[in-house]
Structure 1
Amino acid sequence: MTPELTKSLAHGMRRIRTVEETIAARYSEQEMRCPTHLSSGQEAVSAAAGALLRHSDLAVSGHRAHAHYLAKGGSLNAMIAEIYGRVTGCARGKGGSMHLIDEAVGFMGSTAIVGGTVPVGVGLGYSLMIKGGDDIACIFLGDAVVETGVFHEALNFATLKNLPVLFICENNFYSVYSPLEVRQPTAREIHEKIAGYGIHTASGDGNDVAAVHAVMSDAITKIRAGGGPAFLEFSTFRWREHCGPNYDDDLGYRPDPMIEEWTARDPISLFEGKALADGRLIQGEIDAMQQEIDTEVNAAFDFARSSEFPPAEEADMHVFADQMTGGPL
């Protein structure tokens, strides 16, 4: 854990946190008219992935995709503009928070359909295998995705073809309001079940970014060397409601001791506290880092709010593609 890597991980987590919390703070202004699934509290996994993946690697995600998109290098301006429904957004203002894409940095899309991008990611891995080289496809998913049939079909295919695919599961214990124990057998860990497919699996503390980075680095090294797919499970915890900018713990679906335990284990505070103690970071560096991030984030919101809405004539464009020309019908 070099000083350079320490700064990279701290910056990655702080940037994601700032973006998400700014969305939450401004959502009540009623200018962001799409649903948002925020990642506050879950920044460590994305930051570690961002430090390890190349732009030439390909990645997909699901409905809680902001952190993954940003960590992969996706344009912040285009993401915020998309959430504001502006034509400068990454989907020209017609996709919203759950439909992000930036092909320039290898982020190939996200979708609101649980498990919907898993076979897409495996297909991307197949294309990379055919192309040759050591680039990989990365699929970000939540614990509920492993309950979908398409996940197991795609995983089986990836294993069969020995594809360069990394499955990253952020297990935050809940599918909306339903805990794991009402959805899956309690005597079984997700990564242990996946190991039955004959692929490399590992698990870790998703709020310890240094540990996540180590586990992820090992898996990515094996995949790039031709070792086939890998599945990583990281336990973590979302701070805010499943969908929206608020807190919903008054509903009582998550026990108070659980909430207190996980919020006390803030991945940013834990990591920076250790780095400050051993001299890998100094407070002045953290302060300067946050000031830089605040400036960037405020500029992105200004960019979005000053951008135009999509013209009416684009309403039926980019929906279907002409099979001969690839253009809009």
Structure 2
Amino acid sequence: MARVLYLGGLGRSGTTLVERLLGELPSVRTLGEIVHLWQRDIRDNERCGCGSRFAACSFWRRVGDLAFGGWANVDVTRVHALRDAVERTRYIPRLARAYHPDPQVREYASFYSRVYAAAAEVSGASVVVDSSKHSALAHVLRWSEDIDLRVVHVVRDARGVAYSWTKTVARPEADGSDMTRYSPGRSALLWNAHNAAFGLLSRRGVPVRRIRYEQFLEDPRTALLSLAGFAGLTIGPSDLDFLGDGYADLGVGHSAAGNPMRFTVGRLPLRRDDAWVRSLPRNQRRLVGAVCAPMLRAYGYPLNPSLEPS
């Protein structure tokens, strides 16, 4: 059974940073956003975090051989059909029920479990990390008997997330196309929906550890020790030598898809991005704050954006 640390939350919440730091721990292999592997990698042959095209990456080639006898044997059309049938936010109430779901749910989850198990065996890792983020996928994966699922729910201030979604971010692996953008109002609604869905997951017996992006950056060393324990790993102080005062030294990873930070190698500054306090227009800041107010309070964020989160 593959032990999977699933990073969940709305995009632009800091999951890629958490993933990259987790990937420096011994016995951990980070895989990127596996939810996109079927289209972006198997079909479109985009670049792995190591810089190679997916088909040319020796790590992923070995994973495909072990999991499916080669990626050419994966019926991507079937995967997409299953995704459309079971992995949608609107299906979460059905997925969260106590009785066993439609067989399609287990079939869809089996594609992921085979990737996880093969990646663990090829890398020799005790834990693999999937940073897919999607709440509906996490609810699907909980039904797999072949996955030891542990979820890290990454939360960031909704106003910071909204501001990040308004910015243009290039996808260098996709020949110049940009990442999706959302309006502040749209991102506020998504922030509520996805974060609430992870709260529901914890009430269904799945181990969920919530972390706030801002607190993670204040003390990444302590945060990583806590997450390692949550994942069932024992690490020592020397295993965190890649962390310095305000920076992390990163090696080459094999993230299959995700934020462009996955390509970063070498010294990465660790600092909070609070540009939204100054740059997100006041009317948009108030809109997001009003829409997300109940959950912002629940997560310990001040409703007055001029205040630093405690």
Same fold (TM over 0.5): no
TM-score (norm. length: structure 2):
0.35
TM-score (norm. length: structure 1):
0.34
Which structure carries more relative contact order (alpha carbon 8 Å, separation 6+)?
A: 2
